[in-house]
Chains A and B, each alone.
Chain A
Amino acid sequence: GAVVSQHPSRVICKSGTSVKIECRSLDFQATTMFWYRQFPKQSLMLMATSNEGSKATYEQGVEKDKFLINHASLTLSTLTVTSAHPEDSSFYICSARDPSSGGIPYEQYFGPGTRLTVT
Protein backbone atom coordinates (compact mmCIF):
# COMPACT_ATOMS: atom_id res chain seq x y z
CA GLY A 1 0.00 0.00 0.00
CA ALA A 2 0.80 3.74 0.11
CA VAL A 3 1.98 4.08 -3.48
CA VAL A 4 2.58 7.50 -5.00
CA SER A 5 3.06 8.02 -8.72
CA GLN A 6 4.35 10.96 -10.70
CA HIS A 7 3.93 11.83 -14.34
CA PRO A 8 5.90 12.42 -16.41
CA SER A 9 9.11 10.82 -15.21
CA ARG A 10 11.17 12.97 -17.56
CA VAL A 11 10.30 16.11 -19.49
CA ILE A 12 12.25 18.46 -21.71
CA CYS A 13 10.76 21.84 -22.48
CA LYS A 14 11.87 25.04 -24.13
CA SER A 15 12.63 28.15 -22.17
CA GLY A 16 9.54 30.29 -21.67
CA THR A 17 7.04 27.46 -21.84
CA SER A 18 5.10 25.88 -18.99
CA VAL A 19 5.14 22.29 -17.84
CA LYS A 20 2.77 20.42 -15.54
CA ILE A 21 3.80 17.58 -13.25
CA GLU A 22 1.18 15.31 -11.71
CA CYS A 23 1.41 13.54 -8.37
CA ARG A 24 -1.13 10.85 -7.53
CA SER A 25 -1.74 8.73 -4.47
CA LEU A 26 -2.82 5.41 -5.94
CA ASP A 27 -4.25 3.49 -3.03
CA PHE A 28 -4.99 6.07 -0.38
CA GLN A 29 -6.45 9.51 0.03
CA ALA A 30 -3.84 12.14 0.71
CA THR A 31 -5.08 15.25 2.47
CA THR A 32 -1.53 16.64 2.42
CA MET A 33 1.03 16.44 -0.34
CA PHE A 34 4.48 17.96 -0.53
CA TRP A 35 6.60 19.16 -3.43
CA TYR A 36 10.38 19.01 -3.25
CA ARG A 37 13.15 20.08 -5.59
CA GLN A 38 16.59 18.52 -5.66
CA PHE A 39 19.60 19.88 -7.53
CA PRO A 40 22.54 17.58 -8.32
CA LYS A 41 24.54 16.53 -5.28
CA GLN A 42 22.26 18.50 -2.99
CA SER A 43 19.60 17.61 -0.49
CA LEU A 44 15.87 17.72 -1.01
CA MET A 45 14.44 21.21 -0.58
CA LEU A 46 10.78 21.56 0.35
CA MET A 47 9.05 23.92 -2.06
CA ALA A 48 5.48 23.83 -0.79
CA THR A 49 2.90 21.97 1.21
CA SER A 50 -0.36 21.27 -0.55
CA ASN A 51 -3.62 20.65 1.31
CA GLU A 52 -6.66 19.37 -0.54
CA GLY A 53 -9.18 22.07 -1.25
CA SER A 54 -7.05 24.96 -0.03
CA LYS A 55 -4.14 27.09 -1.20
CA ALA A 56 -0.65 25.68 -0.97
CA THR A 57 1.80 26.94 1.61
CA TYR A 58 5.06 27.94 -0.04
CA GLU A 59 8.47 27.91 1.59
CA GLN A 60 10.46 31.09 1.81
CA GLY A 61 12.11 31.97 -1.47
CA VAL A 62 9.78 29.90 -3.64
CA GLU A 63 7.82 32.01 -6.12
CA LYS A 64 4.17 31.05 -5.86
CA ASP A 65 3.34 32.68 -9.19
CA LYS A 66 6.01 30.67 -10.93
CA PHE A 67 5.33 27.32 -9.29
CA LEU A 68 1.57 26.84 -9.35
CA ILE A 69 0.25 24.06 -7.15
CA ASN A 70 -3.26 22.67 -7.33
CA HIS A 71 -4.57 19.99 -5.00
CA ALA A 72 -8.06 19.61 -6.36
CA SER A 73 -8.77 16.11 -5.12
CA LEU A 74 -7.66 13.75 -2.38
CA THR A 75 -5.57 11.74 -4.84
CA LEU A 76 -4.09 14.35 -7.16
CA SER A 77 -1.80 17.33 -6.81
CA THR A 78 -0.22 19.15 -9.74
CA LEU A 79 2.82 21.40 -9.96
CA THR A 80 3.00 23.73 -12.95
CA VAL A 81 6.30 25.41 -13.67
CA THR A 82 5.37 28.54 -15.58
CA SER A 83 7.68 30.39 -17.96
CA ALA A 84 10.39 27.85 -17.33
CA HIS A 85 14.04 28.83 -17.51
CA PRO A 86 17.17 26.67 -17.63
CA GLU A 87 17.80 27.33 -13.93
CA ASP A 88 14.50 25.55 -13.20
CA SER A 89 16.03 22.34 -14.50
CA SER A 90 15.97 19.99 -11.54
CA PHE A 91 14.57 16.80 -10.07
CA TYR A 92 11.09 17.40 -8.68
CA ILE A 93 9.74 14.92 -6.14
CA CYS A 94 6.31 14.80 -4.55
CA SER A 95 5.28 13.01 -1.40
CA ALA A 96 2.01 12.37 0.36
CA ARG A 97 0.75 11.57 3.81
CA ASP A 98 -1.73 8.79 4.39
CA PRO A 99 -3.87 9.91 7.34
CA SER A 100 -5.36 6.44 7.68
CA SER A 101 -1.98 4.75 8.03
CA GLY A 102 -1.38 3.11 11.37
CA GLY A 103 2.37 3.19 10.91
CA ILE A 104 4.81 5.99 11.53
CA PRO A 105 2.98 9.19 12.45
CA TYR A 106 3.05 11.78 9.66
CA GLU A 107 5.16 9.52 7.44
CA GLN A 108 5.56 10.75 3.89
CA TYR A 109 5.43 8.41 0.91
CA PHE A 110 7.48 9.54 -2.06
CA GLY A 111 6.77 9.50 -5.74
CA PRO A 112 9.49 8.39 -8.17
CA GLY A 113 10.37 11.95 -9.18
CA THR A 114 10.29 13.97 -12.38
CA ARG A 115 13.45 15.09 -14.15
CA LEU A 116 12.82 18.49 -15.76
CA THR A 117 15.25 19.85 -18.31
CA VAL A 118 14.67 23.33 -19.71
CA THR A 119 16.58 24.11 -22.88
Chain B
Amino acid sequence: GQNIDQPTEMTATEGAIVQINCTYQTSGFNGLFWYQQHAGEAPTFLSYNVLDGLEEKGRFSSFLSRSKGYSYLLLKELQMKDSASYLCDIMDSNYQLIWGAGTKLIIKP
Protein backbone atom coordinates (compact mmCIF):
# COMPACT_ATOMS: atom_id res chain seq x y z
CA GLY B 1 0.00 0.00 0.00
CA GLN B 2 0.85 3.64 -0.10
CA ASN B 3 1.88 5.34 3.10
CA ILE B 4 3.35 8.70 4.05
CA ASP B 5 4.26 9.39 7.67
CA GLN B 6 5.06 12.72 9.28
CA PRO B 7 4.71 13.93 12.86
CA THR B 8 1.30 15.30 13.72
CA GLU B 9 2.51 18.37 15.54
CA MET B 10 5.74 20.13 16.41
CA THR B 11 6.57 23.19 18.48
CA ALA B 12 9.54 25.48 18.02
CA THR B 13 10.74 28.88 19.16
CA GLU B 14 10.91 32.01 17.06
CA GLY B 15 14.39 32.43 15.60
CA ALA B 16 15.28 28.77 16.01
CA ILE B 17 15.61 25.91 13.51
CA VAL B 18 13.18 23.02 13.07
CA GLN B 19 13.34 19.85 11.00
CA ILE B 20 10.16 18.11 9.87
CA ASN B 21 10.66 14.51 8.80
CA CYS B 22 8.68 12.51 6.27
CA THR B 23 8.95 8.82 5.46
CA TYR B 24 7.11 7.17 2.61
CA GLN B 25 6.25 3.94 0.86
CA THR B 26 4.54 4.45 -2.47
CA SER B 27 3.96 2.69 -5.76
CA GLY B 28 6.55 4.42 -7.86
CA PHE B 29 8.23 7.75 -7.33
CA ASN B 30 8.30 10.80 -9.53
CA GLY B 31 9.28 13.38 -6.97
CA LEU B 32 8.53 14.63 -3.47
CA PHE B 33 6.88 17.94 -2.71
CA TRP B 34 6.63 20.01 0.43
CA TYR B 35 3.72 22.42 0.75
CA GLN B 36 2.82 24.96 3.40
CA GLN B 37 -0.82 25.32 4.34
CA HIS B 38 -2.23 27.99 6.62
CA ALA B 39 -5.58 27.27 8.23
CA GLY B 40 -8.45 27.78 5.83
CA GLU B 41 -6.20 28.29 2.84
CA ALA B 42 -4.98 26.15 -0.03
CA PRO B 43 -1.48 24.65 0.02
CA THR B 44 1.37 26.73 -1.33
CA PHE B 45 4.41 25.16 -2.97
CA LEU B 46 7.67 25.14 -1.01
CA SER B 47 10.00 22.63 -2.62
CA TYR B 48 10.42 19.72 -5.00
CA ASN B 49 13.01 16.94 -4.79
CA VAL B 50 13.39 14.21 -7.37
CA LEU B 51 17.08 13.38 -6.90
CA ASP B 52 18.88 12.57 -3.67
CA GLY B 53 20.37 15.46 -1.81
CA LEU B 54 19.62 18.85 -0.37
CA GLU B 55 17.72 21.65 -2.09
CA GLU B 56 18.12 25.04 -0.45
CA LYS B 57 15.80 27.97 -0.99
CA GLY B 58 16.27 30.85 1.38
CA ARG B 59 15.28 29.91 4.92
CA PHE B 60 13.84 26.59 3.75
CA SER B 61 15.77 23.49 2.70
CA SER B 62 14.50 20.07 1.70
CA PHE B 63 16.42 16.81 1.69
CA LEU B 64 15.66 13.53 -0.04
CA SER B 65 16.99 9.98 0.24
CA ARG B 66 15.14 7.75 -2.20
CA SER B 67 16.81 4.55 -0.99
CA LYS B 68 15.59 5.24 2.55
CA GLY B 69 12.19 6.61 1.54
CA TYR B 70 12.97 9.66 3.63
CA SER B 71 12.79 13.40 3.35
CA TYR B 72 12.99 16.35 5.68
CA LEU B 73 12.10 20.00 5.51
CA LEU B 74 14.42 22.31 7.41
CA LEU B 75 13.20 25.75 8.43
CA LYS B 76 15.74 28.25 9.72
CA GLU B 77 15.35 31.58 11.51
CA LEU B 78 11.78 30.74 12.35
CA GLN B 79 9.22 33.52 12.19
CA MET B 80 5.76 33.63 13.71
CA LYS B 81 4.26 33.55 10.22
CA ASP B 82 5.80 30.10 9.73
CA SER B 83 3.11 28.70 12.02
CA ALA B 84 1.22 26.47 9.60
CA SER B 85 0.79 22.88 8.51
CA TYR B 86 3.53 21.40 6.34
CA LEU B 87 2.45 18.72 3.91
CA CYS B 88 4.77 16.11 2.46
CA ASP B 89 3.49 14.49 -0.69
CA ILE B 90 4.73 12.09 -3.33
CA MET B 91 4.07 12.03 -7.04
CA ASP B 92 3.54 8.35 -7.77
CA SER B 93 4.10 6.30 -10.89
CA ASN B 94 0.83 7.63 -12.37
CA TYR B 95 1.90 11.22 -11.67
CA GLN B 96 -0.81 11.53 -9.04
CA LEU B 97 -0.09 13.26 -5.74
CA ILE B 98 -0.25 11.13 -2.59
CA TRP B 99 -0.58 13.40 0.43
CA GLY B 100 0.70 13.02 3.96
CA ALA B 101 -1.56 14.13 6.80
CA GLY B 102 0.62 17.14 7.45
CA THR B 103 2.63 18.41 10.40
CA LYS B 104 1.19 21.30 12.36
CA LEU B 105 4.04 23.59 13.33
CA ILE B 106 3.50 25.90 16.26
CA ILE B 107 5.95 28.77 16.71
CA LYS B 108 6.26 30.31 20.14
CA PRO B 109 7.81 33.70 20.87
Contact = CB atoms under 8 A, between A and B. Distances in A.
B97 A108 contact: yes
B102 A43 contact: yes
A44 B43 contact: yes
Interface string A38-79: 000011111001000000000000000000000000000000
Contact of B97 (A46, A111, A112, A115): A46
Contacts of B31: 104-105
A17 B109 CA distance: 46
A107 B89 CA distance: 12
B91 A106 contact: yes
Q: Does more than half of chain A's interface fall in helix, strand or loop, or is it mixed?
A: loop
Interface of B: 30-31, 40-45, 48, 87, 91, 95-97, 99-102
Nearest to B100: A43
B55 to A, nearest CB: 12
A113 B97 contact: no
A110 interface: yes
A91 interface: yes
Given A43-B102, A91-B40, A112-B42, 11 more contacts: A44-B43, A44-B87, A44-B99, A46-B96, A46-B97, A93-B42, A93-B43, A104-B31, A106-B91, A106-B95, A110-B43
B101 A106 contact: no
Contacts of A110: 42-44
A6 to B, nearest CB: 8
A112 B48 CA distance: 20
